[in-house]
């Protein structure tokens, strides 16, 4: 017994890009939350120089822009406050390891320390002769010191409580623009400079200069420690390079997929997805070319890439893997939020739940005298080991399929034309061709139905996907129905539109041919070499 | 030697008296199938030509239901009487003329009057040819004669009718009337109740304006139904009231008004017409109580008409034109034979399909009309399967060694309307050398230049399931031009498709190691390279056995390419006509090419010398190369054989010749004459171990398989040296004969693992017929009969079986 098949359009070609990996699904799932879409703070008007997340939940973050910084709530993603206490543009911000203090460097060379909650200005660390472009608290446990790097090519190690510089670290020969503290040690940190060098410092051996020196070969824009503390990633020029610190500063890999200067790096984490990518770290890099790329430094492979309309300056990723923020030169903040439980909700729920005593209503035993007895178990979910017997999927027949089954060809064509899905229309036309009934259908159409067809042909006959069939069909339709077209005003309008579209298409084709004519000799020459 | 692939639908089948067996005319033999499992249980061998009729002797009493006797008639001019349970030939009657149809009217009434002496049994046979040689040979070749089966001779002087061509005789269920249709009239005779050799026959004629295609008698009333080529069904009531009634013209009224619809002065009371079928009616059958009429035709829909009201019920989507409808003695079982070589068993009142017995798909009558629609039968070298593209966009896999359908794959998801003009067809099928990948090309013909489509599909075979699943679809791989050939590289995942549009494409299978996680790797086929040679149509392609050289025929020359780097290595030769077939011979450096047309040629090229070694003027239908050694076989159409070898001019009846060559030697090693070579196929097939130990101990690895145009095939050992006519097989091995042997054991203890038969209908060991087994052990355990009774039943059934097997 033969099965019946509905009329199906041709398959679309699927490239490897369109089948998303779980990881690209993960990175795509960072979406702008609907409730903050309208707030004006998304646009801060000035370039966003730096973004920094608090290491403590709920992971508030600050963005520095012009002579101020704005703190955003990690829960609602709305701006909490803006501090404009600077005499020049703020350049860099860093949270202390407990998230209570915030250090911000500005272009006058001063490093300001604020209370992150009450925004009280606590300390001013003055000492840089030029702009303090980089500030960084140690990340492990040290709460009393911080590092800063300045355009005077000096890296300073500060004691915050006394507002004193403990010592200067000399060695860079150009602006120090970036740096990072080691995630495992309070004494180790790196700084990157425009003299193409990245230096690794250890405050325990401060007088000996840098512990290690790496040559990035481009002005270094950003440098970060990878979570193990043994690898660092540097960005400068179009490159992102991975270095092995333990192995004596060996270059492991150079990623060269950005087209313009890479401005910022940060660590990302693939969290809370199933599969082998779960809880793996990634390097997020943003560049002036508007791309954010996700780099898997275990496989040395770009796993995701996303384009933004503006040049990107800074990037931040919350430690709980829920928020991803990107700042641009235009002052726009792209805040992406994944759907997921914020941990604080958890806590709140638990607190509430403590007081309530669970009081399940006693369910009466079902007996065959109840109506529900006969419906029991319908919502039962199969357990893991159960063998599922699936009900065969019912084939859905749309209107045109039913009409085609009854051999009512013209009605099927009109029905599918009314549905305005070009793929299905072409599929039905192809089926009619296979039955050798298409031209008969065309010649039987009423004026209104012919109008419908002409509208369709005008719209789609120049689309490459359908052009093979539709251009020839348009020709035939005009041939077959010339009399009717002449007599109807609307049809004449359709013909005019069709003619215009065809002329446009011919122009495009000609210019394409011209381009091909220009290119093909070049390719010949290139092939010869 | 194994033959197979016979048509099951050349003549109507017949049920045995207990409705547990179905007798099907399959070529020269009658095959007995079990209706409960759909598997073959036996075969009646003995006829020398196609069997055209099989009539089971009906049982008049319930006790005689176990009797298994039947009469068969064949084109070899004999009527034979069989005991088909044994199976054993009982009697043979020589008629000397090809019998196209036979009916035995008094067969059921034979046993009624058992007063010691049986009356003679008479058969009416429709034979071809006759004694009137002095007349024009064309007219009246079909004649109906009477034959005394008891005395084994023809009844002289009784010729009921002479027609232009022999057709089939229809008999009424009561055996009282027989009828034939010829062109636009029906002829009906009354058979006297006590038939004897000398008897007059009353005859009536019924006329119509269209040629008839089928007729049927009502079981009780004087009603005759007939179908015509336009799909109309005509029903005459009160047929023969004047002629067949004893009183002579009692009260005849010749008024036309009183006899609506009846033409001229045909002997009938009324004639009504039903018209539902859009094309010719092939099946007409009255139900046994006479209240329903079954009809079927080209549309593949069985229609049930309520005779009084004309109301209809349908069994749609049978999938092919219907040919025969046969009822069994069991009222709940009947069978439909459809044109795609399939017999379907129906449970009757509900008309649901219980089982289907399918043979190899027959070539469609109008498949080869169009250019480029080849026969497309492909033999798989390793698995011993033959792939047959069917009319309903499928590919049927048929096992050559088992003579059984293995599976079907739907290539194109489109609703097939049997009887429609064919516009979409699967016209190329190719397999990779290990059989794991299949490639198909389907073509849609354009309507006045609009909407032609070629699509190339690659199918992957699962490791365990042996079922092909779609891997890649490529629409219009060569733009608007058709594909002439697909060839797979013997090593590695590479294929080439050559097109008439002047280019060929090399496709590779993307090697992506699937990762452990759930990511579905898209491992499809992608285009690796495109090549063309002077914009000439590429007509054939082949890879060398090590895969290093790709040979593509560019119309009349052979171009050799490096498939990996897509570099043209060299160009060889010049033939007179476009090359249609190209093949490397085994592991040697030789290429054999065949071109057809007005100057056909078979040429052997040496790749090392880049020159022609030898050539024949031979119209090669197919070329097959052995994989192991340097021999190859050619199937040549013998209309040119005179010029080739004078010895074959004497054999005019043969249509084709299979020639076995060695590459170095232009003299063929052996020659076989075959028939129906047009559209045939040829291939070397690796013989499976089962064949080796059963046929001959020293069977070579490869046997040659030849499939003729009617999809009948023969497998034989090409190196055996037996030249001459390909004869009928000496022994056939159907798997079911094994099954009868292990009947008692396996039904209790389950199937033994070494009996690895490919049974796809039934997962458990199936019994050839419904024996006492089912009745013994059916039902819950507490309601089983007591053990002594059960035991005796059990042993009895075993004994019964054993005796049958011994005989």
Distance of residue A13 Cα from the nearest chain B Cα, in angstroms: 9
Residues A184 and A99 in one domain: yes
Q: Which residues in chain B have Cβ-Cβ distances shorter than 8 Å to A433?
A: 423, 444, 446-447, 450-451
The answer to whether residues A150 and A290 belong to one domain is: yes
Please indicate whether, in this complex, the C-beta atoms of B450 and A405 are within 8 angstroms of each other: no
Q: Are B714 and B18 in contact (CB under 8 A)?
A: no
User: Which of A297, A326, A344 is the last residue before a domain boundary?
Assistant: A344
Hey, CA dihedral for B373, B375, B380, B383, is it positive or negative?
A: positive
Q: Tell me whether strands B631-637 and B656-662 are parallel, antiparallel or unpaired.
A: antiparallel
- Using CA coordinates, name the residue in chain A closest to B443: A434
Contact A472/B518, CB-based, under 8 Å?
A: no
Q: In angstroms, what CA-CA distances link B694 with A295, B1, B734, B743, B753?
A: 64, 11, 12, 21, 19
Evaluate whether A487 touches A450 at the Cβ level (below 8 Å).
no
Residues A69 and A151 in one domain: yes
Report how far residue B603's alpha carbon sits from residue B592's, in angstroms, rounded to the nearest whole number. Answer: 6
B511 compared with B393, residue with greater pLDDT: B393
| pLDDT top residue among B264 and B705 | B705
pLDDT over threshold 70, residue B807: no
CB contact under 8 A, B447 and A5: no
Q: How far is A2 from chain B (nearest CA, A)?
A: 6
Chain B residue numbers touching A14 (CB-CB < 8 A):
522
- Can you give the pLDDT at residue B738? 35
Most B CBs within 10 Å, among A16, A301, A433, A475, to test the B interface: A433
Mean pLDDT for chain A overall = 84
Tens digits of per-residue pLDDT, B192-235?
766 666 667 788 888 888 899 999 998 888 889 999 998 899 99
Residue that wins the pLDDT comparison between B600 and B65 = B600
pLDDT, tens digit (0-9, with 9 covering 90-100), for A53-107: 888 878 888 888 888 888 888 888 888 888 887 888 888 889 988 888 889 988 8
Query: Given A11, A434, A473, which is nearest B423 (Cβ)?
Result: A434
The tokens for B468 are: 């092909």
The arithmetic mean of pLDDT across residues B309-332, rounded, is 86
**Same domain, residue pair A124 and A243:** yes
Cβ atoms of B52 and B46 closer than 8 Å: no
Closest CA to B196 of B241, B165, B234, B151: B151
Partner-chain residue, chosen from B318, B410, B451, that has the shortest CB–CB distance to A430: B451
Is residue A426 situated within a structural domain? yes
From A7, which residue of chain B is nearest by alpha-carbon distance? B414
Predicted confidence (pLDDT) per residue in B557-610, tens digit: 899 999 888 888 889 878 888 888 888 888 888 888 888 878 888 888 888 888
Q: Which of A6, A10, A304, A434 to mutate to test the interface with B (most CBs of B within 10 A)?
A: A434
CA A52 to chain centre: 19
Q: How many CB pairs under 8 A join A and B?
A: 74
Contacts of B451 in chain A (CB under 8 A): 429-430, 433, 438, 469, 472-473
Minimal CA separation from A248 to chain B, in Å: 34
pLDDT of residue A425: 92
Alpha-carbon distance B399 to nearest alpha carbon in chain A (angstroms): 22
* Partner B contacted by A19 (CB < 8 A): yes
In a domain, A376, yes or no: no
Task: Give the domain-ending residue among A344, A360, A375.
Answer: A344
Compute the average pLDDT of residues A457-485.
89
Q: Which residues of B touch A (CB under 8 A)?
A: 317-319, 353, 392, 410, 413-416, 420-421, 423-424, 444-451, 453, 473, 475-476, 480, 515-520, 522
Beta strand segments in A288-392, E = 291-296, 301-307, 312-317, 323-328, 333-337
**Residue-number span of the structural domain to which A300 is assigned:** 23-344
Task: Judge if A450 and A317 occupy the same domain.
Answer: no
Q: Tell whether A11 is covered by a domain.
A: no
**A469 in contact with chain B, both atoms CB, cutoff 8 A:** yes
Backbone angles phi, psi at A126, to 5 degrees: -105, 140
**pLDDT number for residue B248:** 46
What number of other Cβ atoms are within 10 A of residue B479's Cβ?
Answer: 10
Rounded to an integer, the average pLDDT of B678-691 is 70
Total domains present in chain A: 2
Question: Does the CB of A11 have a partner CB in chain B at under 8 Å?
Answer: yes
Identify whether A382 is part of a domain.
Answer: no
Q: Report the residue of chain A nearest B522, measured CA to CA.
A: A16
Give the CA angle between residues B243, B246, B249 to the nearest 5°: 55
Looking at the fold, whether A146 and A293 belong to one and the same domain comes out as yes
Q: Does A477 map to a domain?
A: yes
Is the predicted pLDDT of residue B535 greater than 50, yes or no?
A: yes
Statement: residue B247 has pLDDT above 60:
no
Which chain B residues touch A406 with a CB distance below 8 Å?
A: none
Q: Provide CB contacts within 8 A for B119, sequence distance 6+.
A: B106, B110, B113, B194, B195, B196
How is residue A133 written in tokens? 């472009």
> Half-sphere exposure (CA, 13 Å, Cβ side) for B714?
20
What distance in Å separates residue B306's CA from the closest CA in chain A? 23
Q: Are residues A309 and A434 in the same domain?
A: no
Predicted pLDDT at B659: 86
Structural domains of chain B, with CATH: 372-485+497-517 (no CATH), 537-617 (2.40.10), 620-728 (no CATH), 755-807 (no CATH)
Taking an 8 Å cut-off on Cβ atoms, the answer to whether A1 and B319 are in contact is yes
Q: What is the reported pLDDT for B139?
A: 52
Looking at the fold, whether A338 and A417 belong to one and the same domain comes out as no
A438 with B520: Cβ contact below 8 A: no
Contact across the interface for B451 and A469, Cβ inside 8 Å: yes
- Cβ contacts of B519 on chain A, cutoff 8 Å: 21-22, 275
Whether B8 and B24 have beta carbons less than 8 Å apart is answered as yes
Report the pLDDT value the prediction gives residue B154, as an integer from 0 to 100: 77
State how far the Cα of B573 lies from the Cα of A138, in Å rounded to an integer.
Answer: 80
pLDDT at B144 over 50: yes
Residue numbers in A near B448 (CB within 8 A): 439, 476
Q: Which of A310, A329, A344 is the endpoint of a domain? A: A344
Spatial separation of the C-alpha atoms in residues B791 and B798, rounded to whole Å: 11
Q: How far is CA A359 from CA A302, A304, A346, in A?
A: 52, 48, 21
- List the one residue out of B532, B523, B431 whose CA is nearest residue B478: B532
Same domain, A118 and A254: yes
How far apart (Å, rounded) are the C-alpha atoms in residues B354 and B357? 10
- Residue B449: its chain A contacts at CB < 8 A? 472
Q: What is the pLDDT of residues B623-667, one digit of tens each?
A: 888 877 788 888 887 654 444 444 333 334 447 888 888 888 888
What is the pLDDT, as a whole number, of residue A521?
92
DSSP H or E segment with residue A397? none
Q: Residue A250 belongs to a domain with what CATH number?
A: 2.130.10.10
**Predicted confidence band at A285 (pLDDT cuts at 50, 70, 90)?**
very high
Cβ distance A276 to B517 less than 8 Å, yes or no, reads yes
- For residue B517, what pLDDT band results from cuts at 50, 70 and 90? very low
**Beta strands in B298-350, from DSSP E residues, in sequence order:** 302-306, 312-315, 322-327, 333-338, 342-347
Substitution target from B370, B393, B450, B457 for chain A, most A beta carbons within 10 A:
B450
Residue scoring higher pLDDT (B574 or A452) = A452
- Cα Rg of chain B (Å, integer): 30
Same domain for A317 and A410: no
Q: Are strands B724-725 and B670-674 parallel, antiparallel or unpaired?
A: parallel
Please state the rounded mean pLDDT for residues B681-708.
64
Residue A396 touches chain B, beta carbons under 8 Å? no
Strands A176-181 and A164-169: unpaired
**Rounded Cα–Cα distance for residues A91 and A51 (Å):** 10
Residues A42, A46, A47, A51, CA torsion sign: negative
In this prediction, residue A34 carries a pLDDT of 66
Q: Is residue A335 part of a domain?
A: yes
Query: In chain B, which residues have their Cβ closer than 8 Å to the Cβ of A431?
Result: 414
Judge if A34 and A150 occupy the same domain.
yes
A369 in a structural domain:
no
- Residue B476's region, left for phi above 0, alpha for psi from -120 to 50, else beta, is left
pLDDT averaged over chain B?
77
Helix (H) or strand (E) holding A26: helix A22-28
A13: in domain: no
**pLDDT at residue B552 in the model:** 92
Chain B nearest-CA residue for A11 = B473
Tell me the CA distances in angstroms from A454 to A421, A448, A449, A501, one per residue in order: 15, 10, 9, 12
Question: Do A227 and A338 fall into the same domain?
Answer: yes
How far apart (Å, rounded) are the C-alpha atoms in residues B326 and B54? 12
């Amino acid at each position: 017994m033969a099965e019946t098949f509905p009329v199906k359009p041709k398959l679309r070609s699927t490239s490897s890009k369109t089948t998303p990996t779980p990881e690209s699904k993960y990175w795509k799932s960072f979406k702008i939350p609907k409730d903050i879409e309208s707030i004006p703070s998304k646009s801060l008007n000035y370039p966003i120089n730096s973004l920094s997340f608090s290491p403590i939940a709920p992971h508030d973050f600050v963005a520095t822009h012009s002579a101020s910084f704005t703190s955003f709530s990690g829960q609602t993603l709305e701006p909490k406050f803006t501090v404009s206490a600077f005499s020049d543009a703020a350049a860099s911000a860093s949270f202390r390891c407990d998230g209570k203090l915030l250090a911000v460097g500005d272009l006058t060379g001063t490093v300001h320390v604020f209370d992150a909650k009450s925004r009280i200005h606590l300390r001013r660390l003055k000492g840089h002769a030029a702009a303090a472009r980089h500030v960084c608290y140690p990340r492990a446990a040290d709460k009393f010191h911080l590092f800063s790097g300045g355009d005077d090519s000096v890296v300073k190690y500060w004691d915050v409580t006394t507002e004193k510089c403990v010592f200067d670290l000399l060695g860079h020969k150009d602006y120090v623009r970036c740096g990072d503290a080691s995630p495992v040690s309070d004494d180790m940190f790196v700084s990157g400079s425009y003299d193409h060098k990245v230096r690794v410092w250890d405050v325990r051996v401060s007088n000996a200069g840098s512990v290690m020196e790496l040559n990035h070969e481009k002005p270094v824009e950003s440098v970060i420690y990878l979570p193990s503390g043994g690898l660092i990633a540097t960005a400068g020029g179009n490159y992102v390079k991975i270095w092995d610190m333990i192995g004596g500063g060996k270059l492991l890999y150079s990623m060269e997929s950005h087209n313009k200067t890479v401005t910022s790096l940060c660590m990302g984490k693939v969290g809370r997805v199933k599969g082998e990518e779960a809880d793996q770290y990634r390097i997020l890099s943003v560049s002036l070319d508007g791309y954010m790329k996700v780099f898997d430094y275990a496989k040395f492979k770009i796993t995701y890439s996303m384009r933004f309309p503006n040049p990107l300056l800074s990037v931040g990723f919350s430690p709980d893997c829920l928020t991803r923020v990107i700042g641009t030169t235009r002052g726009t903040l792209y805040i992406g939020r994944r759907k997921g439980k914020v941990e604080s909700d958890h806590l709140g729920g638990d607190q509430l739940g403590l007081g309530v005593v669970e009081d399940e209503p006693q369910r009466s035993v079902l007996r065959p005298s109840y109506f529900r007895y006969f419906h029991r178990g319908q919502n039962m979910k199969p357990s893991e080991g159960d063998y599922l017997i699936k009900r065969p999927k019912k084939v859905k027949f749309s209107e045109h399929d039913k009409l085609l089954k009854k051999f009512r060809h013209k009605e099927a064509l009109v029905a599918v034309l009314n549905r305005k899905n070009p793929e299905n229309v072409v599929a039905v036309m192809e089926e009619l061709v296979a039955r050798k009934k298409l031209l008969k259908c065309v010649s039987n159409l009423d004026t209104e139905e012919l109008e419908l067809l002409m509208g369709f042909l005008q719209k789609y006959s120049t689309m490459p996907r359908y052009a093979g069939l539709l251009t020839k069909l348009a020709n035939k339709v005009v041939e077959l129905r010339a009399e009717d077209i002449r007599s109807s005003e609307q049809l004449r309008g359709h013909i005019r539109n069709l003619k215009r579209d065809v002329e446009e298409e011919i122009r495009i084709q000609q210019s394409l041919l011209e381009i091909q004519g220009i290119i093909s000799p070049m390719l010949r020459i290139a092939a010869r070499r | 030697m194994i033959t197979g692939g016979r048509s099951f639908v050349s003549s109507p089948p017949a049920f045995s008296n207990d409705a547990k067996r179905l007798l099907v005319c399959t070529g020269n033999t009658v095959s007995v199938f079990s209706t409960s499992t759909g598997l073959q249980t036996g075969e009646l061998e003995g006829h020398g030509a196609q069997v055209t009729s099989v009539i089971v002797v009906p049982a008049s009493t319930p006790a005689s239901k176990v009797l298994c006797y039947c009469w068969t008639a064949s084109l070899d001019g004999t009527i034979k009487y069989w005991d088909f349970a044994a199976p054993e030939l009982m009697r043979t009657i020589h008629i000397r003329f090809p019998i196209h149809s036979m009916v035995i009217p008094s067969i059921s009434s034979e046993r009624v009057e058992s007063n010691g002496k049986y009356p003679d049994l008479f058969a009416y046979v429709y034979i071809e040819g006759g004694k009137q040689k002095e007349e024009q040979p064309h007219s009246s070749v079909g004649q109906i004669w009477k034959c005394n089966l008891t005395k084994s001779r023809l009844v002289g002087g009784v010729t009921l009718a002479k027609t232009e061509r022999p057709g089939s005789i229809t008999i009424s269920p009561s055996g009282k009337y027989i009828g034939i249709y010829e062109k636009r009239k029906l002829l009906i005779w009354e058979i006297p109740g006590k038939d004897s050799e000398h008897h007059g026959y009353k005859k009536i004629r019924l006329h119509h304006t269209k040629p008839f295609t089928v007729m049927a008698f009502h079981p009780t009333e004087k009603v005759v139904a007939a179908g015509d080529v336009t799909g109309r069904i005509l029903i005459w009531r009160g047929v023969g009231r004047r002629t067949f009634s004893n009183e002579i013209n009692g009260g005849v009224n010749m008024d036309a008004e009183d006899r609506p619809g009846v033409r001229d002065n045909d002997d009938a009371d009324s004639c009504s017409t039903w018209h539902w079928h859009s094309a010719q009616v092939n099946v007409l059958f009255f139900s046994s109580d006479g209240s329903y009429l079954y009809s079927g035709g080209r549309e593949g829909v069985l229609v049930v008409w309520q005779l009084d009201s004309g109301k209809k019920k349908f069994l749609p989507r049978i999938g092919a034109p219907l040919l025969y409808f046969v009822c069994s003695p069991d009222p709940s079982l009947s069978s439909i034979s459809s044109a795609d070589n399939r017999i379907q068993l129906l449970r009757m009142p509900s008309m649901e399909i219980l089982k289907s017995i399918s043979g190899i798909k027959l070539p469609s009558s109008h498949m080869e009309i169009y250019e480029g629609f080849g026969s497309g039968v492909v033999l798989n070298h390793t698995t011993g399967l033959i792939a047959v593209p069917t009319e309903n966009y499928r590919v049927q896999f048929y096992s050559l060694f088992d003579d059984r359908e293995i599976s079907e794959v739907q290539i194109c998801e489109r609703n097939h309307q049997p009887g429609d003009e064919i516009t979409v067809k699967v016209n190329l099928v190719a397999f990779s050398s290990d059989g794991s990948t299949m490639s198909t090309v389907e073509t849609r013909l354009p309507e006045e230049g609009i909407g032609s489509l070629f699509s190339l599909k690659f199918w992957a075979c699962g490791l365990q399931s042996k079922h092909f699943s779609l891997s890649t679809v490529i629409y219009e791989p060569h733009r608007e031009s058709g594909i002439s050939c697909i060839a797979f590289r013997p090593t590695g995942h590479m294929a080439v498709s050559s097109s008439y549009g002047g280019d060929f494409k090399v496709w590779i299978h993307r090697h992506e190691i699937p990762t452990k996680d759930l990511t579905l790797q898209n491992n499809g086929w992608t285009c690796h390279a495109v090549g063309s040679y002077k914009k000439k149509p590429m007509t054939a392609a082949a890879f060398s056995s090590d895969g290093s050289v790709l040979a593509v025929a560019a119309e009349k020359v052979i171009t050799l390419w490096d498939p990996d780097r897509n570099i043209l290595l060299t160009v060889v030769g010049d033939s007179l006509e476009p090359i249609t077939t190209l093949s490397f011979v085994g592991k040697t450096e030789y290429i054999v090419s065949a071109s057809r047309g007005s100057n056909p040629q078979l040429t052997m090229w040496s790749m090392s010398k880049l020159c022609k070694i030898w050539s024949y003027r031979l119209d090669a239908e197919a070329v097959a190369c052995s994989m192991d050694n340097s021999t190859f076989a050619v199937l040549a159409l013998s209309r040119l054989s005179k010029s080739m070898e004078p010895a074959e001019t004497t054999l005019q009846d043969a249509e084709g010749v299979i020639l076995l060559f060695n590459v170095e030697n232009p003299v063929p090693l052996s020659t076989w004459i075959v028939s129906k070579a047009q559209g045939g196929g040829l291939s070397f097939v690796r013989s499976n171990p089962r064949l080796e130990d059963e046929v001959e101990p020293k069977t070579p690895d490869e046997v040659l398989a030849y499939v003729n145009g009617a999809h009948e095939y023969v497998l034989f050992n090409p190196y055996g040296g037996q030249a001459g006519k390909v004869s009928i097989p000496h022994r056939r091995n159907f798997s079911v004969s094994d099954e009868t042997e292990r009947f008692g054991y396996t039904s209790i203890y389950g199937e033994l693992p070494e009996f690895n038969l490919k049974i796809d209908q039934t997962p458990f060991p199936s019994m050839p017929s419904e024996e006492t087994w089912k009745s013994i052990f059916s039902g819950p355990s507490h309601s089983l009969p007591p053990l002594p009774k059960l035991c005796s039943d059990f042993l009895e059934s075993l004994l019964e079986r054993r005796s049958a097997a011994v005989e």
